[in-house]
Structure 1
Amino acid sequence: MGGGMHELAHRAALEALRFWVAAANREHAPAAPDAACDVVDRAARFVCGGDAPPCLDLTRPLATVFGSLQGASAAYVRRAPLALTDDILFPSTDARVDTAATDRLRAALRAADNQSAHLPLAPRIEALFFAFQRFAWCLPSPLAGVSLYDAARIHAAVAAALTADSGLLLVGGDVSGVQEFIYSISAAGATRQLRGRSFYLQLLTEACAHYVLHQAGMPFCNLLYAGGGRFYVLLPASFESRLGEWRRAIGRLLLDAHGGALYLAIGGVRFAPHDYSESTWQELTRRIDDVKRRRFADLDDATFARLFEPTQPEPPPDVEEQSAEPLDAMGESLADLGRQLARVALLSVEPVEPRAVSFDRGKAGWNDVLRVLGLNVELLDHLCAYRVDHSRRRRVLLIDDRDPQSIALGPQDVVGTRYTVAVAQLATDRDVAQYQALERDAGDEQTLRVGDVKPFNLLAEQSIGARRMGVLRMDVDDLGDLFGRRLSRPSGLAGLAVTAALSTTLSRYFEGWVGELCRRANDDGGAGGVYAVYSGGDDLFLVGSWHRMPRLAQQIRNDFARYVLGRAPNAGETLPITLSGGITLHAARYPLYQAADDAAEALDAAKRHARPDRHAKDAVTFLGRTLGWEHFGEAADLCAALVDLVQAQGVPRSLLMVIQTLDARFRQEQRRNRSGAAQFAYGPWVWQGAYQLTRVAERSPNGVKAQIERLRDRIVGNEGVPQRFIERAGLAARWAQLLVRERSNAKEER
Structure 2
Amino acid sequence: MEQKEQVFLAALAGLLHDIGKFALRGGAEGASRSWDRQAEQDYKYKHALLSEDFAERYLPPQWQGQVKFAIGKHHRPHDRLASAVALADRLSAGERADSLSDDSQREKQPARLLSIFSDVRLEAGEDEVPQVYWPLKTLELSKTHLFPEKDYGGELWKEYEKLYGGFVAQAEKLKTAYQNDGDIAYYLESLLAEMQHFLWCVPSAYYKSRPDISLYDHSRMTAALAVALYDSPSLSDEQLAAFAQQPERVEDDLVTLVGGDLTGVQSFLYTITARGAASGLRGRSFYLQLLGLVIARYVLDQLHLPVTSLIYVGGGNFYLIARREDAARLPEIQAQVSRALFNEHQGELGLILQARLLSGRHFFNGEIRHQWDGLIGQINAAKLKRLEGLEVDLARVFEPHGVGGSTPQQCAVCGREHSGIKPRRVDEGVEETVNKCPVCESYEDLGKLLRKARYLVLQPVEGEPPAQIQMQAGRGWQAITRQFGYAVQVLEKLENEATGILFALNDEAFNHRLPRPQCAMARYLLVNVTPILSEREHAGLRGKVDQLPVPGSVKPLNVLEAQARGIKRLGVLRMDVDNLGKIFAEGLQERATLSRIASLSFAVSLFFEGWVGEIARQMNEEESQRLYSIYSGGDDLFFVGSWDMVVEFAMRLRHDLNRFTGGHPDIHPSGGIVLVGGKYPLYQAAEEAGAAEDQAKHHRWAKNGIERQKDALSFLRMPLAWERFGFHADAEEEEDTAHALMLTLKQIVESHENRALIGKLIRLHELYQARLEERRKSGEDLNRAGQIQVLWGPWNWLAEYHLSRLKDVPKDDVEKIRRRLKQENFRSIEWIGLAARWAELITRERR
Change (3 A) 1:668 1:730: same
Q: Determine the C-alpha separation between the residues in 1 that align with 2:354 and 2:51.
A: 40
Amino acid at match of 1:693: L
1:247 to partner: Cα distance: 1.3
1:73 to partner: Cα distance: 2.1
Per the alignment, residue 586 of structure 2 pairs with 485
Paired residue for 1:506, among 578, 585, 604?
A: 604
Change (3 A) 1:678 1:90: closer
Paired residue for 2:746, among 615, 638, 643?
A: 643
1:489 to partner: Cα distance: 4.4
| Cα deviation digits, residues 208-246 of structure 1 (max 9, x gap) | 111110011000111111111111111101111111111
Paired residue for 2:629, among 529, 532, 536?
A: 532
After TM superposition, the structure 1 = structure 2 runs for residues 149-298 of structure 1, keeping only pairs within 5 Å, are 149-165=216-232, 166=235, 167-186=254-273, 188-276=275-363, 277-298=368-389
Q: Secondary structure at the match of 1:155?
A: helix
| Cα deviation digits, residues 570-609 of structure 1 (max 9, x gap) | xxxx713111111111111111111111111111111112
After TM superposition, the structure 1 = structure 2 runs for residues 702-721 of structure 1, keeping only pairs within 5 Å, are 704-707=809-812, 709-711=814-816, 713-714=818-819, 719-721=822-824
Q: Is the 8 A contact 1:187 1:456 kept in 2?
A: no
Per the alignment, residue 568 of structure 2 pairs with 467
Per the alignment, residue 504 of structure 2 pairs with 398
Q: Is the 8 A contact 1:459 1:545 kept in 2?
A: yes
Paired residue for 1:735, among 803, 817, 838?
A: 838
Per the alignment, residue 747 of structure 1 pairs with none
Q: Determine the C-alpha separation between the residues in 2 that align with 1:113 and 1:22.
A: 14
Per the alignment, residue 12 of structure 2 pairs with 14
Paired residue for 1:361, among 467, 472, 475?
A: 472
| Cα deviation digits, residues 116-174 of structure 1 (max 9, x gap) | 33232211111110011100001001363111111111010010111222421111111
Amino acid at match of 1:664: E
Q: Is the 8 A contact 2:19 2:51 kept in 1?
A: no
1:678 to partner: Cα distance: 12
Per the alignment, residue 183 of structure 2 pairs with 120
Q: Secondary structure at the match of 1:395?
A: strand
Per the alignment, residue 669 of structure 1 pairs with 771
Paired residue for 2:490, among 379, 392, 395?
A: 379
Amino acid at match of 1:366: W
Indicate whether 1:428 and 2:479 are aligned: no
Q: Determine the C-alpha separation between the residues in 2 that align with 1:372 and 1:318.
A: 23
Paired residue for 1:47, among 50, 67, 92?
A: 92
Change (3 A) 1:54 1:114: farther
* Root-mean-square deviation (Å): 2.7
1:529 to partner: Cα distance: 0.4
1:723 to partner: Cα distance: 5.3
Q: Secondary structure at the match of 2:845?
A: coil
Indicate whether 1:60 and 2:168 are aligned: no
Q: Determine the C-alpha separation between the residues in 2 that align with 1:712 and 1:281.
A: 50
| Cα deviation digits, residues 613-671 of structure 1 (max 9, x gap) | 123211111111111111112111111111111122221x2321210111122223334
Paired residue for 1:451, among 552, 562, 569?
A: 552
1:694 to partner: Cα distance: 3.1
Q: Secondary structure at the match of 2:258?
A: strand
Q: Determine the C-alpha separation between the residues in 1 that align with 2:758 and 2:91.
A: 64
| Bigger shift: residues 105-114 or 62-71 | 105-114
Amino acid at match of 1:263: G
Paired residue for 1:81, among 120, 138, 157?
A: 138
Q: Is the 8 A contact 1:318 1:591 kept in 2?
A: no
Q: Is the 8 A contact 1:658 1:693 kept in 2?
A: no
Q: Determine the C-alpha separation between the residues in 2 that align with 1:318 and 1:351.
A: 30
Could you list the runs of 5+ residues in structure 1 that have no partner in the other structure?
441-445, 745-750
After TM superposition, the structure 1 = structure 2 runs for residues 326-341 of structure 1, keeping only pairs within 5 Å, are 326-341=435-450
Per the alignment, residue 748 of structure 1 pairs with none
Q: Determine the C-alpha separation between the residues in 1 that align with 2:607 and 2:788.
A: 44
Amino acid at match of 2:716: L
Per the alignment, residue 689 of structure 2 pairs with 599
| Cα deviation digits, residues 476-503 of structure 1 (max 9, x gap) | 1111111122223446xxx111111111
Q: Determine the C-alpha separation between the residues in 2 that align with 1:663 and 1:228.
A: 39
Per the alignment, residue 619 of structure 1 pairs with 712
Paired residue for 2:458, among 313, 332, 349?
A: 349
| Bigger shift: residues 415-424 or 208-217 | 415-424
Q: Secondary structure at the match of 2:275?
A: helix
Q: Determine the C-alpha separation between the residues in 2 that align with 1:322 and 1:477.
A: 40
Amino acid at match of 1:101: E
Q: Is the 8 A contact 1:693 1:708 kept in 2?
A: no
Change (3 A) 1:81 1:57: farther
Aligned length: 712
Change (3 A) 1:488 1:680: closer
Q: Determine the C-alpha separation between the residues in 1 that align with 2:840 and 2:393.
A: 60
Per the alignment, residue 724 of structure 2 pairs with 631
Indicate whether 1:69 and 2:67 are aligned: no
Percent of aligned pairs sharing the same letter: 32
| Cα deviation digits, residues 37-82 of structure 1 (max 9, x gap) | 2211221122123246943468122100011112322101100111
Q: Secondary structure at the match of 2:700?
A: coil
Amino acid at match of 2:642: S
After TM superposition, the structure 1 = structure 2 runs for residues 85-96 of structure 1, keeping only pairs within 5 Å, are 85=142, 87-96=144-153
| Cα deviation digits, residues 304-328 of structure 1 (max 9, x gap) | 5326644368478699999543332
1:195 to partner: Cα distance: 0.7
Q: Secondary structure at the match of 2:259?
A: strand
Q: Is the 8 A contact 1:472 1:549 kept in 2?
A: yes
* TM-score normalised according to structure 1 size: 0.89
Q: Is the 8 A contact 1:80 1:138 kept in 2?
A: yes
Amino acid at match of 1:594: Q
Q: Secondary structure at the match of 1:614?
A: strand
| Cα deviation digits, residues 409-465 of structure 1 (max 9, x gap) | 43222222212111011111233345553454xxxxx56222211011110111011
1:260 to partner: Cα distance: 1.4
Amino acid at match of 1:606: A
Q: Secondary structure at the match of 2:18?
A: helix
Change (3 A) 1:722 1:351: farther
1:557 to partner: Cα distance: 0.5
Q: Secondary structure at the match of 2:293?
A: helix
Q: Determine the C-alpha separation between the residues in 2 that align with 1:346 and 1:192.
A: 21
Q: Secondary structure at the match of 1:174?
A: strand
1:265 to partner: Cα distance: 1.1
Could you list the runs of 5+ residues in structure 2 that have no partner in the other structure?
25-49, 56-67, 71-78, 105-109, 236-253, 404-408, 416-422, 427-432, 727-736
Indicate whether 1:552 and 2:615 are aligned: no
1:525 to partner: Cα distance: 2.3
| Bigger shift: residues 324-333 or 173-182 | 324-333
1:405 to partner: Cα distance: 4.9
Change (3 A) 1:378 1:148: same
| Bigger shift: residues 176-185 or 100-109 | 100-109
Per the alignment, residue 476 of structure 1 pairs with 577
